[in-house]
Amino acid sequence: MSIEKAMEYSGISGLISAFRDSMSNVGNVLKIAFVGSVGVCTPFAELMAYSIREQRHEMVFIPDANVDNTRKMHFIEGVGYYVTDEAADARGSDIIVILGGLSMKRHPCTGEAIRKLIECIERDDGATRVIGVSFMNAFKISGWVDKIKFDVIIDTHSTTIVRYQTHE
């Protein structure tokens, strides 16, 4: 699989912009499934959902890649998107967004399991688009790039600096 660098963004707002831009030419999309680890990936799914809020797609979140635990995502004007406790069906998803937290060594999920999950929830006509969103080459490091047919990978690198105020 050949992956080419197409565009470059910066920071969290760049991550969100990159996701929104990757959604700009996808055609008629009705359902989007975000697949990610509990807690860590959830706010990123909500941020990305918010970035395309005008499109009002049906959106679901699959925590820890457990399709039986799929939950609806709802939009509240003036607040944003959030994952609910309401059960949902991810089958027939037009877009599947795989979040990189699942590919980290501490998570028991495998690339093969994600590939099977995609096969389970993708559209019957095979036209589902798969988008990977990760930090610091997580998909490449885990070997998932060779196991999952990503249409787009959005990879973010972040530097955190902590500064303390000195009181003299």
Q: Coil, strand, or helix at residue 48?
A: helix
The range of the structural domain enclosing residue 126 comes to: 28-155
Residue type, 72: K
Q: For 20-33, what is each residue's pLDDT tens digit?
A: 999 887 778 899 99
20 falls within a domain: no
Instruction: Let me know if residue 88 belongs to a domain.
Output: yes
Residue 22 lies in a domain: no
- Write down the pLDDT at residue 19: 94
- pLDDT at 2 (0 to 100): 58
Does 33 fall in a domain?
yes
Q: Is 168 inside a domain boundary?
A: no
Whether pLDDT at 133 is above 80? yes
41: which residues sit within 8 A by CB, 6+ positions away?
34, 99, 100, 101, 102
How many domains in the chain? 1
- pTM passes above 0.85: yes
In a domain, 50, yes or no: yes
113 three-class SS? helix
| CATH at 92 | 3.40.50.2300
Give tens-digit pLDDT for 153-168.
999 988 788 999 988 7
Q: Is residue 167 part of a domain?
A: no
Q: What is the pLDDT of residues 87-99, one digit of tens each?
A: 999 999 999 999 9
114-129 mean pLDDT? 96
Instruction: Say if residue 35 is exposed, middle or buried (CB neighbours under 10 Å; 0-12, 13-18, 19+).
Output: buried
Residue 124, in any domain of the structure: yes
Report, as an integer, the average pLDDT of 4-8: 71
From the CB of residue 136, how many other CB atoms can be counted at a distance below 10 Å? 11
Mean pLDDT confidence for 127-149: 95
